[in-house]
Amino acid sequence: MNIGWTLLKVGLFVAGMLVVGGRLIPWLLVRIAHTRSRELFTLGVLAIALGIAWLAYYLFHSFALGAFLAGLVMNASPLGHNAAERSLPLRDAFAVLFFVSVGMLFDPMILVRDPLAVLGVLAIVIVGKSLAALVITHGFKLDRSTGLTVAASLAQIGEFSFILAALGVYLGAMSRETHDLILAAALLSISLNPFVFLLTDRMGGRPRPPVAGSPEAKQAAIDHAAEKAASNPATA
C-alpha cells in the first residue's frame, strides 16, 4: 500500500511538473529576464530549482528527483541555455562538496573485510553492463566500434548511484554493508574506466588521435597541409 501510494505521488508530481511546470516555469524565466538583471535571473533559477527539489522531498523524500525534473522543465524554456550557464559556478562548487562527502562516506576497510564481494559487484558493473550494451547495440545493428564505445561508456556507475544507495539506506531498504560495497565498486569502476576505453580502442582497431604538440601531431599537420596543397595546385 505504501509503495503504491508513493508511486502514485511520484507519477502525479512528474505529470504535473511536465504539464503545468513546463508552461509556467519557462514563462516565469522570460518574465525575470525582462528585468535585465543578471543577479535576479541567477537568483530566480536557483529559487526555482531548489523550490521544485524541496517540494519533491516533501512529497516523497527524493530531493534528487525534484532537482532533475527542475532541470528538465527549465531546459524547455527559450532561456534554458542561459539558465544552465548561470548555474555553472554553483554546479562546480556543489560537485566538489559532493565528492568530498563521498570520500568521507567511503570505508576503505571494506576492501580488506570483503574483497570478493567488492570484486563481484565490480564485475557486475563492468562486465555485466558492457555485455548488455553490446547486445543492445548489436540488436540495433550498429557497428562493432560504436558498440565497444557505448559499452566502455557504461562500464561504470557514478553520482546518481551514490544518491540511490544513500536513499536506500535512509529508507531502510539497504544495509550499510551493501551501501559500502556499491560505493567501493563505483569508485573502482570510475578509476578503471580510462583503461577500459584503452582496451576497447585496441579491440575496435581505432587509432587514437595524437596528443596536441607531440611530434606525431606536428607530422600529421604537415601531411594534411601537403595533401591539401596537392589537391589544389592553384594555391601552390
Question: Is the dihedral angle over the CA atoms 165, 167, 170, 173 positive or is it negative?
Answer: negative
The whole-number pLDDT of residue 12 equals: 86
Q: pLDDT at residue 136 above 90?
A: yes
In this structure, of 88-102, 145-159, 175-189, 219-233, the range with the lowest mean pLDDT score is 219-233
pLDDT grade, residue 59 (50/70/90)? confident
The whole-number pLDDT of residue 229 equals: 54
Q: Please, what is the average pLDDT of the chain?
A: 81
Q: pLDDT tens digits for 144-173?
A: 888 889 999 889 887 778 777 877 887 788
Domains of the chain, residue spans? 2-84, 110-203
pLDDT grade, residue 192 (50/70/90)? very high
Give the CA angle between residues 127, 184, 190 to the nearest 5°.
Answer: 55
Task: In whole angstroms, give the CA distance from residue 77 to residue 30.
Answer: 8
Question: Is the dihedral angle over the CA atoms 160, 163, 167, 169 positive or is it negative?
Answer: positive
Q: How many CA atoms lie within 13 A of 120 on its CB side?
A: 6
Q: pLDDT at residue 236 above 50?
A: no
CA distances for 139 relative to 10, 135, 143, 201, 232, angstroms: 32, 6, 10, 21, 44
Residue 220: how many other CB atoms lie within 10 Å: 13
